[in-house]
Amino acid sequence: MENVALIDSFSEFKDDKLIDRVTLMAILEDVLRNALKKKYGDDDNFDIIINPDKGDLEIWRNRIVVADGEVEEPNQEIELSEARKIEPDFEVGEDVAEEVKLIDLGRRSILALRQNLISKIHEHDNTNIYKQFKDLEGEIYTAEVHHIRHRAIILLDDEGNEIILPKDKQIPSDFFRKGENVRGIIESVELKGNKPAIIMSRTAPVFLEKLFEQEIPEVFDGLITIKNVVRIPGEKAKVAVDSYDDRIDPVGACVGMKGSRIHSIVRELGNENIDVINFTNNLQLYITRALSPARVTSIKIDEEAKRAEVLLKPEEVSKAIGRGGHNIRLAGQLTGYEIDVFREGTEEDEDVELTEFSDEIEGWIIEEFNKAGLDTAKSILEQDIEDLVKRTDLEEETIIDVIRILKEEFEE
């Protein structure tokens, strides 16, 4: 391989990779010097001149002329007779500069040199990609679906960088086709070997926070502050917002007229139900708001144990708990308090715990009702059959049978 052929390889990388000329020349010189050290034991007396514009390079070996038979350091010294083959008028003590061709290093060394060059350029490229995406951690990024695997989707951005969207970082309802654009948060970047592993997430709470920044100007401008975000991806989320300007209604500004502003966010998240609430330092009020849409009658707080006992009217209990317990779980995460719900009742308003019917209703059916916040006979009888089908994973026939059993209890 001639010098020019190596430079051609060098130029190919320069075109393919976004590496500046100075860095690329430094990499090439470093690779060449490593090859010279292996061949000659030292590279201090070599000058390397790279001219990428002309597609050429020159390597010059500098030695001192000594009398014949007195060479002690072959790499540093040259016999007078050998020097005069280069230039006939050389004398002892003078410096000789002799050009070294790549072919002089040997075929095997040349192949190793080119491989080393490729490796160094890739290493530099990967380091730059790592730094680039490390700075993007916690930010929204868009990339195209390149390959769909069982446990992850492989995405490529406009520069051909590979981004991984694992299955557990996808919203359950997500369904992507090859070539489709996907938005998510750059959650983490790690170097595995010399290759950066870039992980995207659509389930992280910060993704929802950044969507608010993108879609709601007041949040982007800092007029509205997001205090906390909690999510059950694809199901439900709660966002606490605040504003230091009394003239701004933070909830109204985020939701918009008839939900117009938040609609695009909901759609991006697979119709995730988003509750936006006003943040307050008043803990009782904050917990009350966190349990919306339920209306709280009273709250008893144990700050030391981080627990709150909440009293509600019977018809509000299922709202506070929510489908699958999502509402009460998110309220607890949002406020940092374990919330226990108690039903307000009177003597004439007698009710019966669902567990009392365990001899007639199977345990797994009772558990399904409990998940939906329905743990007493009346809490079920107050609902329409159609609503009960939607709120639970039970068949209509099963629900009708349960209602019959419960009605018989009260008719007695």
| pTM > 0.75: yes or no | no
Mapped onto helix, strand or coil, the DSSP state of residue 279 is coil
Q: Is 389 exposed, middle or buried (0-12, 13-18, 19+ CB in 10 A)?
A: middle
Angle at 155 between CA 152 and CA 160, to 5 degrees: 145
Place 346 in a pLDDT band, splitting at 50, 70 and 90.
very low
185 neighbors 206 (Cβ within 8 angstroms): yes
Cis before 293? omega within 30: yes
Q: Bigger pLDDT: 234 or 315? A: 234
Q: What percent of the chain has pLDDT over 90?
A: 39
226 neighbors 209 (Cβ within 8 angstroms): yes
CA distance 90 to 80: 7
Angle at 260 between CA 256 and CA 263, to 5 degrees: 115
Q: What is the structure's pLDDT at 13?
A: 53
Mean pLDDT of 135-163: 92
Q: Bigger pLDDT: 250 or 407? A: 250
Residue 1 has pLDDT above 50, yes or no: no
Q: Bigger pLDDT: 53 or 335? A: 335
CB under 8 Å to 197, separation ≥6 — which residues?
164, 189, 190, 191
CA distance 112 to 120: 12
Place 4 in a pLDDT band, splitting at 50, 70 and 90.
very low
Distance in Å from the first CA to the final CA of the chain = 100
Mapped onto helix, strand or coil, the DSSP state of residue 281 is coil
Q: What is the structure's pLDDT at 48?
A: 84
CA distance 271 to 279: 24
Q: What is the structure's pLDDT at 370?
A: 84
Q: What is the structure's pLDDT at 110?
A: 67
Q: Of the ranges 34-38, 151-155, 365-369, which one carries the lowest mean pLDDT score?
A: 34-38
Q: What is the structure's pLDDT at 336?
A: 94
Q: What is the structure's pLDDT at 7?
A: 53
Backbone φ and ψ of 322, nearest 5°: 75, 165
Which whole-number Å values give the CA distances from 267 to 211, 257, 405, in the listed order? 11, 17, 41
Residue 53 has pLDDT above 90, yes or no: no
Residue 348 has pLDDT above 70, yes or no: no
The chain-wide mean pLDDT, for the chain, equals 85
Q: What letter represents residue 329's amino acid?
A: R
Question: For 190-212, how does the pLDDT look when each residue is reduced to its tens digit (9 = 90+)?
Answer: 888 778 899 999 999 999 999 99
Q: What is the structure's pLDDT at 128?
A: 79
218 neighbors 256 (Cβ within 8 angstroms): no
Question: For 321-332, how does the pLDDT look when each residue is reduced to its tens digit (9 = 90+)?
Answer: 888 889 999 999
- Which of 51-55, 68-72, 131-135, 288-292 ranks highest by mean pLDDT? 288-292
CB under 8 Å to 387, separation ≥6 — which residues?
none
Q: What is the structure's pLDDT at 36?
A: 84
Q: Bigger pLDDT: 239 or 111? A: 239
Residue 142 has pLDDT above 80, yes or no: yes
